[in-house]
A and B are shown apart, each in its own frame.
Chain A
Amino acid sequence: MKGLESIDLRRATNILFRSNRELALKILKIIELTWAQLKKSGYEHLRIMNFCGTHEWTTTRYGLRSLLPEGIELLAGPGCPVCITPSHYVEAAIKLSLEGVRVYTYGDAYKLPSVKKINGVKSLDEAKASGGDVVVVYSLLDAIRDVVKNRVESTFLAIGFETTYPAYALAILKEETPENLSYIVAGRLTPPAAEYAVERVGGVDGVIAPGHVSTITGGEVWINLAEKYSIPTVVSGFEPIDVLLSIAEILKQKSRGEARVVIEYARAVTWSGNVNAKKAINEVFEVHDAAWRGIGIIPKSGYKLREEYRRFDAFDRYGFREPTRDEWCYDLLPGCRCGEVIIGKIKPSECSLFMKKCTPDSPYGPCMVSSEGTCRIHALHTNVNNIDEIRKIKWIENSNHQ
């Protein structure tokens, strides 16, 4: 046997955690047996919520819902920073781009629709078509290089969760941010939203916690969910085997009457997380009560630049303002039920516009835009909820599991 020291971990992940039908079937069997025991002790339903678009993608793409025994339900919670970015940030970005400030954005937010039209325009994509200065980048570094090269006045639509924020913080701390670049600080924290969703939806029995957010925050950040809400919480990786292992662990904790935080994604996540990155975020940003699109203000759920770094704030620089609790108004287009989809209260198919007025080619609401938006994932992979389709997926081919 080769030692772990020499192995290609990328490849190993594929073989062991992704294309591993044999192992998937074994874990499914263990899940079934544990579930059967739980049912004997009186359980009829078990509702497990995820907080990450990538987990929802894995769940849907690999048809995990249909592979699980009846009675176990997987819900998609607030797991995508694009979907929950309030419309007022998008509107500010559109306005600036039309006024000659170069706006950098990640691809995911390029087509994100705003509620109000700005000069007849309601997304950065449309702004660009009307002559606005919009540049899609893969990373903050790309944007910084572009600013330095072209010496343009510019702003970065800084959306993201804990995973994305270290980059902004480090770019400021290491003095890499040119003075003519500012940030539209739209960052949000996941644990407050997770607690909000769990409270609103009610009856959540287990949580699959986001792996990449947790590389930064560490497993410790989920302790409230386990202790205050008594919900077994498993920090999970993103391959199908990871998600199945996490479900099995949640069932186990249920059967023992426990509620703990467990890190399944141990290859990438530690208990205290990325200490460097956390420190950088803390130095540059403070936490404030912030708005979530279609949901409203969630206490202590958003990042804001500290006084010393406020000069990089696009809102300060260009005279925009965050809405107060009283000023915040519902920011979804009529009929769009993203706010409920995001917290796992309804499934996309329960929205009457789903696949009618709102499709992946022509998204109407924000959850249809991002590749990790729940509506988009369900629109693109919806067939996978049927067992015949699942058989066509390579890793589960010839599965005799029903």
Chain B
Amino acid sequence: MCWGVYGKVLEVSEKYVKVDFGGVVREVLSSLDDISPGDYVVVHAGLIISKLSREEFLESFKYIREIAEKLVEDGELSREELEEMNRIISKWLEE
């Protein structure tokens, strides 16, 4: 039941935060103080529970890169395949 939905903050007032969920705009409450327009947030049942971090957005791939490096070292994976994976990971930034 605790689906988190991503939305973009439009407006912050004293009590409520207006969030755009891909076209549908809703007023929600926030459990965080440092929310400003333009932030992307995770909303659960009408409450902002987290702010999406741009800095950490690609951190998910830190560990898989480590694993892939190790496989290259072990001779199980070719360097080209590792580079191909890195290319796929950064490709979307241009889209």
Interface segment, one of A136-144, A192-200, A296-304, A388-396: A136-144
A108, closest chain B residue (CB) = B1
Interface segment, one of A7-15, A69-77, A122-130, A341-349: A7-15
Contacts of B61 in A (CB 8 A): 245
Contacts of B77 in A (CB 8 A): 29-30, 33
B5, closest chain A residue (CB) = A10
B71, A30: Cβ atoms under 8 Å? yes
A276, B32: Cβ atoms under 8 Å? yes
Chain A nearest CB: distance from B33 CB in Å?
7
Contacts of A140 in B (CB 8 A): 45-47
A245, B88: Cβ atoms under 8 Å? no
A274, B31: Cβ atoms under 8 Å? yes
Taking a contact as CB atoms closer than 8 A, the residue among B28, B60, B71, B81 that contacts A267 in the complex is: B60
Is A91 interfacial (CB-CB < 8 Å)?
no
Contacts of A264 in B (CB 8 A): 60, 63
Place the interface of chain B in its size category: 35 or more
A15, closest chain B residue (CB) = B92
B22, A212: Cβ atoms under 8 Å? no
Chain A nearest CB: distance from B6 CB in Å?
5
Give the one of B2, B47, B64, B85 with max A CB within 10 A: B2
Contacts of B33 in A (CB 8 A): 276
- Tell me whether A262 and B1 are in contact in the complex, defined as CB-CB below 8 angstroms, given that A141-B27, A267-B52 are known contacts: no
Contacts of B36 in A (CB 8 A): none
Contacts of B56 in A (CB 8 A): 266-267
**Quick one: CB contact mask for B1-35 with A, threshold 8 Å, 1 for yes?**
11110111000000000000010000111011100
**Quick one: CB contact mask for B28-63 with A, threshold 8 Å, 1 for yes?**
110111000000101011110110111111111101
* Count of chain A residues near B, Cβ 8 A: 74
Interface segment, one of A146-154, A157-165, A326-334, A352-360: A157-165
Interface residue ranges of B66-95 to A (CB < 8 Å): 66-68, 70-71, 74, 76-77, 81, 84-85, 88-90, 92-95
A22, B88: Cβ atoms under 8 Å? yes
- Tell me whether A30 and B45 are in contact in the complex, defined as CB-CB below 8 angstroms, given that A164-B1, A269-B50 are known contacts: no
Chain B nearest CB: distance from A245 CB in Å?
6
- Tell me whether A23 and B1 are in contact in the complex, defined as CB-CB below 8 angstroms, given that A33-B71, A276-B31 are known contacts: no
**Chain A residues packing against B (C-beta within 8 Å):** 1-2, 4-5, 7-10, 12-13, 15-17, 20, 22-23, 26-27, 29-30, 33-34, 36-37, 53-54, 80-82, 106, 108-109, 138-142, 159-161, 163-164, 166-167, 170, 211-213, 215-216, 237-238, 241-242, 245, 248-249, 251-252, 262-269, 274, 276-277, 280, 370-372
A-B pairs with beta carbons under 8 Å apart, 9 shown? A2-B94, A26-B85, A141-B28, A163-B4, A274-B31, A274-B32, A277-B31, A280-B31, A370-B1
